[in-house]
A and B are shown apart, each in its own frame.
Chain A
Amino acid sequence: MKIAVLVKQTPDTAELSRVAAEDVRSGQIKATLVINPWDEFAAEEAILLGERYGATSVAISLGQPSAVDVLKHALAMGVGAAMLVDSRALQGGDLWTTASVLAAAVQAEGADLVLTGRQSVDDNSGAVAAGVAAYLGWPLVSAVCQIVEIADNQITVERLIEGAQERIRVPLPAVLSVNKEINEPRYPSFIGIRKANKAPIPVIAAASLGVAAESARTQWRNLRKPEERPQSCHWIEGASAAEQAARLVDLLLAEKVI
């Protein structure tokens, strides 16, 4: 069995608020770039499945040349191999462009299970797993919190939805998006980092994957910062907690929020 882990390079969550609309338009993000935190759970699960079932794994990223760093991170954690698809020729695409290219890369790698995080912290679409599954024609299970068993060419998982936990079985090959509850991602070891630095990481042009060019079905317009709230914090004073509580309740009742 071969597992493809889809990872994305995203700004560090502590710096997301400093990303300007102009940076996103130009694609030149001025922030520390790291592996999308949600994708670390997918990388960890691929490594764990390697231990459980002897599966091999490959991390695939669609991104700029700098995204090689997140692939090194995945390798240093223990993912077996890595591949970067250069996104620079895909300007103006939409999430279907991303999904179709990643699906082609999964196919080129001959993987039979795809793991990815629930969403990226930058685009927040959470749609890439569904898109990749749709292009490949494979079943999708999202929000997976446990891989129960892989047997008889089927995978059984637990997943968390609002108000319920479901146990679902689908035939392989399949695409899973995983939740934070699934595991605790390891930190790359020193030896892992050294190995990752020496590992060859092929960089592939999207065109070489034979993906048919489709025109984008959505377009982004008027990228902007949300309006900042002008007023500042109103301090609730009082000689005691009880006095403060009474004043606060007065205000909240007047505003009809309670």
Chain B
Amino acid sequence: MSVLVWIEHTPNGPVASSCEVLGKAQEIARQLGVPVVAAVVGADSTAAEAVRVYGADRVLALVSPPLAQYRLSGSVAALRLAAEQTAATVILTAATIRGREVAATLAHQLGAGYAPEAVDLGVEAGRLVAVRSIYSNNLLVDVTFTSAVQVASIRPRSFPFPATCSTASPVVLLDPGLTEADLREQLLATRNTDNGEVSLADAAIIVAGGRGVAQNPSQGFALVAELAGLLGAAVGASRAAVDAGYIPYKHQVGQTGRTVKPDLYIAAGISGAIQHLAGMGGSKRIVAINPDKAAPIFEKAHYGVAGDLFQVLPALTAELKKRLGR
């Protein structure tokens, strides 16, 4: 038996949120008394090599020429073989776009129950318990499984990034023997949209702007971005700011945007519509900057600054430059 973790990778290496899952999987596997297998899918074992430092009992490199680039049907076919060969009873992925489609499709093929976007995992009486956050983070529920195989995808930043181990995991190669005819998707083109910005899902710090930038939106978001840049943070936005066209949708935090869980969330000029609060309420520390002391954002905030972002953000940036020596 095993706990099998799918490690997603990009040309930059393993995806951070899948490494987080691999870290937690070691704790789950210890409680179950089974090994952790990190499965990496590709045309060769290059990507698998980079996963060896994260503490898996072994890294299973699923290697076949048609798997050079991610395609759902190919990854699922390879992982299904991995699940069978390692007799996996728990299969975990990060809840990225790919991780969610892989987990669901694989679970279906294995006749398994599936807990999507879990925020915590535990073991009770030798079985997995996955905690899910539902109703847009307004309710929690424990998911238990009646199937032999138990599958869950895990929301990014639910667990800390694992420490690197001094002993590298052994890599085992497995060729699933796939041919192009086994795959259903043609990947015609891939365009990198990663312009070096920190992504909202993986960010430890987010600086977000809202309608408070209205008097000068481009300057307002420039101030947000300057502070974010200084802190290595991602730039977020409220729906109001996105709808007003101040900033693209990919920055939107909230129910119809992204759910985020940073260590620090700085909300500048965001009043705190309930849909926004649902998307960022899980942040460890929340700072709100808003001239209106009655704004709902202050009900969620740990620290409140009653002021105008056009004054407070530059002051904050200047102060941090001084203290951090950057």
Contact = CB atoms under 8 A, between A and B. Distances in A.
Interface of A: 11, 13-14, 16-17, 19, 21, 24, 37-38, 94-96, 99, 121-127, 130-131, 133-135, 139-143, 156, 159-171, 180-181, 215-226, 229, 231, 233-236, 240-242, 244-246, 248-249, 251-253, 255, 257-258
A13 B256 contact: yes
Given A17-B135, A160-B97, A236-B305, 6 more contacts: A13-B256, A124-B132, A125-B116, A162-B96, A164-B193, A244-B312
A16 B278 contact: yes
Contact of A252 (B72, B134, B285, B288): B285
B202 to A, nearest CB: 8
Nearest to A251: B303
A144 to B, nearest CB: 11
Contacts of B312: 241, 244-245
Interface stretch (B35-43, B54-62, B85-93, B144-152): B144-152
Contact of B288 (A13, A126, A233): A233
B171 interface: no
B114 A127 contact: yes
Given A218-B115, A233-B303, A235-B306, A21 B274 contact: no
Given A217-B147, A219-B144, A14 B275 contact: yes
A220 B142 contact: yes
Given A156-B188, A235-B306, A180 B249 contact: yes
How many chain B residues sit at the interface, stated as a range, is: 35 or more
Given A218-B114, A245-B312, A249-B319, A161 B97 contact: yes
Interface of B: 10, 15, 72-73, 96-98, 100-101, 104-105, 108-109, 111-117, 132-147, 184-194, 199, 201, 205, 231, 249, 255-256, 263-264, 273-275, 277-278, 284-285, 287-288, 293, 298-307, 311-312, 314-316, 318-320, 323-324
B302 A181 contact: no
B284 A257 contact: yes
Given A122-B135, A156-B188, A164-B192, A139 B116 contact: no
B101 A124 contact: no
Chain B CB count within 10 A is highest, among A17, A24, A242, for A17
Given A130-B104, A222-B142, A231 B320 contact: no
Nearest to B264: A257
A245 B319 contact: yes
Given A126-B117, A127-B114, A241 B307 contact: yes
| Interface SS majority for chain B | mixed
Contact of A124 (B112, B133, B189, B277): B133
Contact of A143 (B15, B97, B105, B316): B97
Contacts of B318: 242, 245
A165 B193 contact: yes
A134 B104 contact: yes
A139 B184 contact: yes
Nearest to B263: A257
A244 B255 contact: no
B119 to A, nearest CB: 10
B320 A258 contact: yes
Nearest to A240: B315
Of listed A96, A169, A171, A216, residue having the most chain B CB within 10 A: A96
B10 A127 contact: no
Nearest to A223: B141
A38 B306 CA distance: 35
B184 A170 contact: yes
A258 B287 CA distance: 12
B304 A234 contact: yes
Given A131-B108, A217-B146, A24 B264 contact: no
A139 B73 CA distance: 8
Contacts of A167: 187-190
A166 B189 contact: yes
Contact of B205 (A218, A225, A258): A258
